[in-house]
Amino acid sequence: MLASQCLCTNLRRAARGVSRHYDGALDGFGINVAQYSLLCNLQRLDQPSISSLADAMGLDRSTLGRNLRVLEGEGLVQLVEGDDLRNRLVLLTETGHERLAAALPAWEAAQQKLIDKLGAEKRETLLALLDELA
């Protein structure tokens, strides 16, 4: 591999590696890390609109919409009309709650493995740097 001083190149490479790590842990649950994150945000936000969910996740509505259609097809989420007919709400179904609960121990183990690899101090530094860049 060629060394690069480009922050973008290195961040993207690291992100792909971390995603592979979590995807491997979630293998067998029928969801990937992006879908797991979306389901977690849905649980945390409790019936958000598509717009507020997109904002919370830092995604554009079209990307989120594509991801939601996949999860809706799996029966993990449901889209319903909000009070304003122009606004749709996203609900985590019972199957979605169950899938999320089943995958949680695997996600926590993957999280702990990375924390153990970095150590507490580097983890805190990394989180601070990523927050600053975001």
Q: Are 67 and 32 in contact (CB under 8 A)?
A: no
- Return the structure tokens found at 60: 């554009």
Please report the pLDDT score of residue 32 as a whole number.
95
113-to-31, 102, 128 alpha-carbon distances in Å: 20, 19, 19
Strand partners, 77: 92
Give tens-digit pLDDT for 90-114: 999 999 999 999 999 999 999 999 9
**Eight-state DSSP code of residue 46:** S
CATH architecture of the domain formed by 7-133: Orthogonal Bundle (1.10)
Element (H, E) at 89: strand 88-92
Q: Are 28 and 85 in contact (CB under 8 A)?
A: no
Residue 13's pLDDT band (boundaries 50, 70, 90)? very high
Which SS3 state, helix, strand or coil, does residue 47 take? coil
- Nearest partner of 18 among 45, 36, 42, judged by Cα: 36
Q: Are 72 and 96 in contact (CB under 8 A)?
A: no
Q: What is the pTM of this model?
A: 0.86
Residue 81's pLDDT band (boundaries 50, 70, 90)? confident
